[in-house]
């Protein structure tokens, strides 16, 4: 029987551990805390119905809800861009419920959990991952290590250079985030776009959101440099000036976190290793949300492992997992390009794109992949008196689409030469955050 270690208790790792254990694999999860103990104290957007179907649970009516439509603001907040989900709004549910459902299902399937374990590094031999090393010096061997340790995974960071897997992220690829739910002190008129998302809020690179709900006011701050409570208090005052419903009392959350907001890893497998979830940067670059992506990736990885009849777990046999994920979610790379280009602009230039309707809802949601020639002609006509800014935005919109196309050209079969050639093309198109 093949031994599989899941390093960390990320959502994708727990999901794939359950699927593999159900099929007879010897699966052990090593984690510093059990998922239910470290779940964030708030709701998140993900398909809780699909998770319930995955685990075989029956949900009560009160266990799920739906997100309202989005309203995007530039720095001046004068001309918002609104998106409409139509008849298919994203679902939302409690993170603690998600952790409970998946953990209970994994245990039922036969997954072994070893909590209170701090993982230090990958154990390697001849450029193959052979297990994990813990902080106390213990070594645990495995035929395959699935890395679910998160954005700062010590496993990924300790991989040999020969694995060709990015070990570090660059400035602008991770949000230092805060989220808190505050009391609602007065009623507000119904608003179908009560999910407000601010680009470069108060002139700072990053995003903020403010969501007005019946139970309270949901505030998130995402910046590219660490910050503390002083910044939170200042942003609370800024929101209070425009949102009288915002109360002082913190009802839930009040938590700081670090989340990836970039394209997925260009390579997430090597001999004896596969990354999933935040370890592989599986989030939507505009928001950092990624629960649904992780669960879908878990199914892809499960199918890939089952297809490896000999249990070789090499780069070549694990490649179909990586290929399928990158091919399906290539648009995430395009969104990454557009996000960084917008945030690289000076606040007044970004406002111009909103005021002239050069940036549209489609741009913000597709990363420029849906921009047609007719769209670009319309953008030129609307921004003719601001040609330098327009040209930079047009290049970003089309560049996002071009990067998506490049991601879809990922080699279907892995060879070092084919991968290196593909990666070189991608690297030329990536737009780093400079502000």
Q: Give me the half-sphere count of Cα atoms (radius 13 Å) on the Cβ side of residue 72.
A: 26
Which of 66, 88, 80 has the alpha carbon at shortest distance from 213? 66
pLDDT score, position 363: 59
Phi then psi for residue 112, to 5 deg, are -100, 130
pLDDT score, position 314: 98
What is the band of 216 on the pLDDT scale with cuts at 50, 70, 90? very high
What is the band of 339 on the pLDDT scale with cuts at 50, 70, 90? confident
What is the band of 399 on the pLDDT scale with cuts at 50, 70, 90? low
**Cα 28 to chain center, whole Å?**
25
pLDDT score, position 69: 87
Q: For the residues 9-33, what does the mean pLDDT come to?
A: 95
Beta pairing partners, 132: 122, 140
Threshold 0.85, pTM exceeds = yes
What is the band of 86 on the pLDDT scale with cuts at 50, 70, 90? confident
Lowest mean pLDDT among 102-106, 385-389, 407-411: 385-389
Residue 320: CB atoms within 10 A of its CB come to: 20
pLDDT score, position 59: 86
Q: Per-residue pLDDT tens for 155-214? A: 999 999 999 999 999 999 999 999 999 999 999 988 889 999 898 888 888 889 999 998
Instruction: Assess contact for 144 and 274: CB atoms under 8 A.
Output: yes
Does residue 378 register a pLDDT over 70?
no
Does residue 381 register a pLDDT over 60?
no
Instruction: Assess contact for 301 and 274: CB atoms under 8 A.
Output: yes
pLDDT score, position 398: 47
Lowest mean pLDDT among 13-27, 95-109, 168-182, 351-365: 351-365
User: Can you say whether residue 206 is alpha, beta or left, with left for phi > 0 and alpha for psi between -120 and 50 degrees?
Assistant: left
């Amino acid at each position: 029987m093949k031994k599989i270690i899941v390093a960390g208790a990320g959502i994708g790792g727990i999901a794939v551990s359950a699927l593999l254990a159900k099929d007879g694999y010897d699966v052990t999860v090593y984690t510093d805390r059990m998922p239910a103990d470290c779940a964030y104290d708030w709701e998140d957007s993900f398909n809780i119905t699909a998770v319930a179907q995955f685990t075989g649970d029956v949900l009560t009516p009160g266990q799920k809800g739906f997100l309202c439509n989005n309203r995007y603001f530039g720095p001046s907040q004068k001309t918002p861009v609104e998106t409409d989900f139509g008849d298919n709004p994203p679902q939302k549910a409690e993170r603690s419920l998600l952790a409970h459902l998946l953990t209970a299902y994994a245990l039922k399937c036969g997954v072994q959990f070893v909590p209170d374990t701090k993982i230090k590094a990958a154990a390697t031999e001849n450029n193959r991952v052979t297990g994990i090393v813990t902080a106390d010096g213990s070594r645990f061997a495995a035929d395959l290590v699935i890395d679910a340790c998160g954005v700062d995974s010590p496993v990924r960071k300790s991989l040999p250079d020969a694995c060709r897997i990015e070990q570090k992220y660059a400035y602008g690829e991770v949000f230092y985030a805060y989220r808190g739910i505050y009391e609602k002190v007065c009623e507000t008129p119904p608003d179908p776009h009560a999910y407000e998302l601010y680009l470069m809020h108060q002139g700072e690179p990053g995003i903020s959101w403010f969501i007005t709900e019946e139970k309270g006011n949901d505030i998130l701050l995402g910046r590219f440099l660490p910050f503390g409570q002083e910044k939170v208090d200042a942003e609370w005052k800024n929101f209070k000036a425009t949102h009288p419903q915002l109360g002082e009392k913190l009802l839930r959350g009040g938590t700081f976190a670090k989340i990836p907001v970039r394209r997925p890893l260009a390579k997430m497998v090597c001999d004896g290793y596969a990354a999933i979830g935040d370890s592989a940067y599986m989030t939507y670059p505009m928001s950092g949300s990624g629960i649904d992506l992780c669960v879908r990736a878990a199914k892809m990885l499960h199918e890939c492992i089952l297809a490896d009849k000999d249990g070789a777990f090499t780069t070549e046999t694990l490649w179909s997992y990586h290929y399928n994920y990158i091919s399906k979610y290539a648009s995430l790379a395009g969104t990454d390009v557009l996000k960084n280009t917008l945030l690289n602009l000076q606040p007044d230039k970004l406002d111009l794109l909103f005021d002239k309707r050069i940036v549209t809802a489609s741009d913000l949601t597709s990363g420029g992949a849906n921009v047609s020639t007719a769209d670009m002609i319309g953008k030129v006509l609307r921004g003719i008196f601001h040609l330098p800014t327009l040209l930079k935005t047009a290049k970003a919109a089309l560049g996002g689409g071009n990067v998506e196309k490049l991601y879809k050209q990922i080699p279907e079969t892995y060879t070092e030469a084919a991968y290196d050639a593909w990666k070189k093309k991608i690297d030329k198109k990536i737009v780093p955050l400079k502000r």
